[in-house]
């Protein structure tokens, strides 16, 4: 069994996999990581390998304890990947994007795949049917756009994400919702169409914190999968275990 640990800036996701199947998942705050880790090992004593992906900061002591209990693959640009990485600056590529592309490589082998991760930022990552990762794009996510309008202007309010009733906003709040939400949706649709012009048989995956909110409003045919990153991390761990 494998333990997958995805460390963010505030929260940590922990998941247990039996081969390719996720059998457990939890999300805890950073300071609760040690207790959650110990509880998982007590509940699943057959866990014998772990992968750690961190865009936040896991305390050195917690990492030391993790390595004392299990063999740990700490994901970075030097980790062996199950795809050919043609990114121009591979050392600057985020570990979250590596995991997403790995999931696409494993689950959609032989297909051209565009992975859209709708989180703090929106990332677009493309892997070809020949299993070559070409790169993609990064743009501001929903929350970042709302915050930018508030932070960089004198009078625009900070609003919570809301689906607009109409594309013509008839108040300042409605106009902000229309600009942010339809702006993101139109961007995504435009990116998908641009890829489809060159790769006609395109598979599109939507994941990330805003995936459920956005998937209901997209016109394009997509697969929504909130666990795609965790599944990708598990695939990387399996790939490195067989090397």
Helix (H, G, I), strand (E, B) or coil at 131: coil
- 12 labelled ligand-binding: yes
User: In 3D, which of 12, 212, 5 has the Cα closest to residue 118?
Assistant: 212
Cross-sheet strand order for the sheet of 121-127: 84-85, 132-140, 121-127, 112-118, 202-207, 223-224
Sign of the dihedral through C-alpha 40, 44, 46, 52: negative
Q: Are 20 and 233 in contact (CB under 8 A)?
A: no
- 85 labelled ligand-binding: no
- 172 labelled ligand-binding: yes
Q: How far apart are CA 179 and CA 32, in angstroms?
A: 38
Q: Which of 60, 96, 165, 210 is catalytic?
A: 96
DSSP string, 148-197: HHHHTSSSPPP------S-SS-SSHHHHHHIIIIIHHHHHHHHHHHHHHH
- 163 labelled ligand-binding: no
- 6 labelled ligand-binding: yes
- 95 labelled ligand-binding: yes
- 10 labelled ligand-binding: yes
- 125 labelled ligand-binding: no
- 11 labelled ligand-binding: yes
Half-sphere exposure of 6 (CA within 13 A, CB side): 25
* Pairing label, strands 132-140, 121-127: antiparallel
Q: How far apart are CA 8 and CA 30, in angstroms?
A: 8
96 carries an active-site annotation? yes
Q: How far apart are CA 159 and CA 51, in angstroms?
A: 37
- 120 labelled ligand-binding: yes
Annotated binding site: 6-13, 87, 94-97, 117, 120, 172
Binding residue ranges for substrate: 87, 94-97, 172
Which parts are annotated binding residues for ATP? 6-13, 120
Q: Could you give the residue numbers annotated as active site?
A: 96
Binding residues for K(+): 117
């Amino acid at each position: 069994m494998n333990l997958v640990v995805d460390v963010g800036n505030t929260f940590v996701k922990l998941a247990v996999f039996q081969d390719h199947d996720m059998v457990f998942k939890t999300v805890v705050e950073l300071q609760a990581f040690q207790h959650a880790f110990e509880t998982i090992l007590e509940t699943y004593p057959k866990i014998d390998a772990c992968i750690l992906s961190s865009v936040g900061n896991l305390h050195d002591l917690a990492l030391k304890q993790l390595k004392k209990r299990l063999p740990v693959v700490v994901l970075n640009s030097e980790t062996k990947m199950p795809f050919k990485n043609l990114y121009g600056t591979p050392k600057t590529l985020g570990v979250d994007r590596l995991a997403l592309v790995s999931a696409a490589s494993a689950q959609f082998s032989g297909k051209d795949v565009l992975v859209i991760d709708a989180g703090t930022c929106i990332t677009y990552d493309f892997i070809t049917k020949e299993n070559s990762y070409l790169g993609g794009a990064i743009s501001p996510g929903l929350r970042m756009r709302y915050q930018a309008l508030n932070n960089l202007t004198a009078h625009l309010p900070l609003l919570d994400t809301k689906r607009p009733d109409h594309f013509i906003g008839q108040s300042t709040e409605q106009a902000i919702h229309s600009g942010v939400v339809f702006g993101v949706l139109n961007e995504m649709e435009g990116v998908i169409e641009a890829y489809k012009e060159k790769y006609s048989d395109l598979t599109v995956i939507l994941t990330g914190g805003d995936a459920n909110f956005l998937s209901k409003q997209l016109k394009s045919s997509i697969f929504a999968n909130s666990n795609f990153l965790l599944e990708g991390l598990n695939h990387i761990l399996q790939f490195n275990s067989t090397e």
